[in-house]
């Protein structure tokens, strides 16, 4: 496991605040040993969670040409036929993956191909579980086209806690399946829009892993 470069500043800030709080506590507060122990444990939670959040897993990608690999770790919270109004402007199968603060938040390309479309949209910060968060929340939309012309759209959506979407793709880029495309800081969600004829390979409630889990076959 390694730490993501986007975590350098947050981790540094968390460690500095931890050290400052620890210094002030022991400098100005005198309490029994058992209280000191619980205070130290409590103060450790924030830097520990910050470091854990920015971890990047070391995995052997499950590379399958005709498959859509999950772009995120998390739980499948929706599988439904929906109108996609931003790019396709027709009906697609939408698979929504919710990422809690305990999940890895680095996102990876679900298929290999060419980046046809990238668009960032500022927005609100509704709870990521809510359907309206897909369009109303801050989000970033990416469309990848396979060599045969099949297109897959996936949308990074900021949640109630998330306050920054990091996205690296540019239109025209050639990308490989299961390689990094960005991340969402803290709790959030990813929606994937697939052709109606796709063979869905997951169910609502399934736990999926980026680079590994097959969402569907094209």
- Provide the token pair at 75: 């739980």
Q: Are strands 74-84 and 165-167 parallel, antiparallel or unpaired?
A: unpaired
CA dist., res. 206 & res. 166, Å (int): 26
Structural contact between residues 97 and 77, judged by C-beta atoms closer than 8 angstroms: yes
CA 56 centroid distance within chain: 12
Neighbours of 138 (CB within 10 A): 21
Structural contact between residues 158 and 165, judged by C-beta atoms closer than 8 angstroms: yes
At residue 178's C-alpha, the angle toward residues 67 and 10, to 5°, is 140
Structural contact between residues 120 and 167, judged by C-beta atoms closer than 8 angstroms: yes
Give the residue numbers annotated as catalytic, written as ranges: 188
CA 38 centroid distance within chain: 32
């Amino acid at each position: 496991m390694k730490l993501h470069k986007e975590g350098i500043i947050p981790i540094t800030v968390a460690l500095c605040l931890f050290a400052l709080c620890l210094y002030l506590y022991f400098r100005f507060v005198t309490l029994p040993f058992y209280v000191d122990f619980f205070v130290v444990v409590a103060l450790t939670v924030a830097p520990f969670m910050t470091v854990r959040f920015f971890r990047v897993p070391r995995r052997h990608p499950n590379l399958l040409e005709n498959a859509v690999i999950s772009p995120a770790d998390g739980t499948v919270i929706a599988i439904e036929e929906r109108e996609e109004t931003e790019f396709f402007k027709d009906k697609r199968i939408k698979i929504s993956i919710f990422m809690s603060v305990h999940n890895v938040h680095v996102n990876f390309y679900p298929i290999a191909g060419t980046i046809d479309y990238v668009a960032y949209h500022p927005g609100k910060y509704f709870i990521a579980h809510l359907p309206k968060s897909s369009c109303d929340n801050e989000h970033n939309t990416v469309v990848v086209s396979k060599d045969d012309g099949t297109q897959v759209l996936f949308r990074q959506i900021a949640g109630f806690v998330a306050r920054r979407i990091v996205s690296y793709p540019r239109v025209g880029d050639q990308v490989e399946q299961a390689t990094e495309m960005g991340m969402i800081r803290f709790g959030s969600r990813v929606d994937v829009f697939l052709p109606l004829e796709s063979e869905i390979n997951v169910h609502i409630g399934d736990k999926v892993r980026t680079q590994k889990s097959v969402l569907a076959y094209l």
